Amino acid sequence: MSGWDNGSKGRSVPSGRLSRLGQFGRLAGGIAGGMLAEGARRLADGQRPRVGDMLLTPGNLVRVADRLSHLRGAAMKLGQMISLDAGDTLPPELSEIMARLRAEADPMPRVQLERVLTAEWGREWRIRFERFDDRPIAAASIGQVHRARTLDGRDLAIKVQYPGVRGSIDADVDNVATLLRVSGLLPPQLDITALLAEAKAQLHEETDYRREGAEMEAYGRLLDGSDAFIVPTVAADFTTDNVLAMSFIEGVPIETTAGRSQEELNRIAARLIGLTLDELFRFGRMQTDPNFANFRYQPETGRIVLLDFGAVRPVTAETSEAYRRLLAAGLSGDRAAVKRAAVEAGFLGEAAVQRHADLVDRIIDLIVTEASRAGPFDFADRRLVPIIREHATVMASDRATWHIPPTDTLFVQRKVSGMALLAARLEARVDVRSMVSAYL
What confidence score (pLDDT) does residue 10 get? Answer: 57
CA–CA separation, 5 and 374 (whole Å): 56
Of 350, 14, 385, 282, nearest to 339 by C-alpha is 350
Please give the Cα distance from 118 to 149 (Å, whole number): 18
Cα distances from 55 to residues 50, 238, 308, 395, in angstroms, run 9, 46, 34, 20
Q: What is the mean pLDDT of residues 10-29?
A: 47
Mean pLDDT is lowest, of 180-189, 331-340, 412-421, for: 180-189
Q: Is 288 exposed, middle or buried (0-12, 13-18, 19+ CB in 10 A)?
A: buried
Q: Quick check: is 224 catalytic?
A: no
* Adjacent-strand bridge partners of 378: 429
What pLDDT shows up at residue 201?
Answer: 86
Rounded distance between C-alpha atoms, residue 298 and residue 296, angstroms: 7
| β-pairing verdict for 143-150 and 155-161 | antiparallel
Residue 146: left (phi > 0), alpha (psi -120 to 50), or beta? Answer: beta
| Number of other CB atoms surrounding residue 54 within 10 Å | 20
Q: Which residue from 333, 337, 307, 303 is spatially nearest to 322, judged by alpha carbons?
A: 337
Task: With beta carbons less than 8 A apart as the criterion, state whether 4 and 110 touch.
Answer: yes
pLDDT digits (tens, 9 = 90+) for 341-375: 988 888 888 888 888 888 888 888 888 888 778 89
Instruction: Share the mean pLDDT of the chain.
Output: 78
Rounded-to-integer distance, Cα 343 and Cα 341, Å:
5
Distance of CA 153 to the CA centre of its chain: 34
φ, ψ dihedrals at 426, nearest 5°: -80, -10
pLDDT for 97 beyond 50 = no
Least confident stretch, 181-190, 299-308, 382-391, 396-405: 181-190
Q: Which of 321, 410, 335, 418 is nearest to 371 (CA)?
A: 335
Annotated catalytic residue, options 289, 308, 361, 381: 289
pLDDT digits (tens, 9 = 90+) for 391-410: 777 777 777 777 777 888 88
Q: What is the DSSP letter of 108?
A: P
Which tens digit of pLDDT belongs to each residue from 207-262? 999 999 999 999 999 999 999 999 999 999 999 999 999 999 999 999 888 889 99
Identify the three-state secondary structure at position 133. Answer: coil
Closest CA to 342 of 331, 353, 332: 353
Report the C-alpha gap between 296 and 416 in whole angstroms.
18
Instruction: Specify which residues 286 forms β-bridges with.
Output: 313
Band of the pLDDT at 42, cuts 50, 70, 90? very low
Which DSSP category does 76 fall into? H
Phi, psi of 303 (to 5 degrees): -90, 150
Q: Widest CA span of the chain, in angstroms?
A: 72
Q: What is the pLDDT of residue 402?
A: 73
3-state secondary structure of 304: strand
- Among 279, 434, 440, 278, smallest CA distance to 371 is for 434
SS3 content of the chain, % helix, strand, coil (to 5): 60, 10, 30
> Among 303, 96, 310, which Cα is nearest to 203's?
310
Pairwise CA distance, residues 244 & 210, whole Å: 7
- Write down the domain spans for the chain: 17-101, 253-440
Cα→Cα distances 262→257, 258, 259, 382, 426, Å: 9, 11, 10, 18, 9
Distance in angstroms (rounded) separating the CA atoms of residues 178 and 74: 14
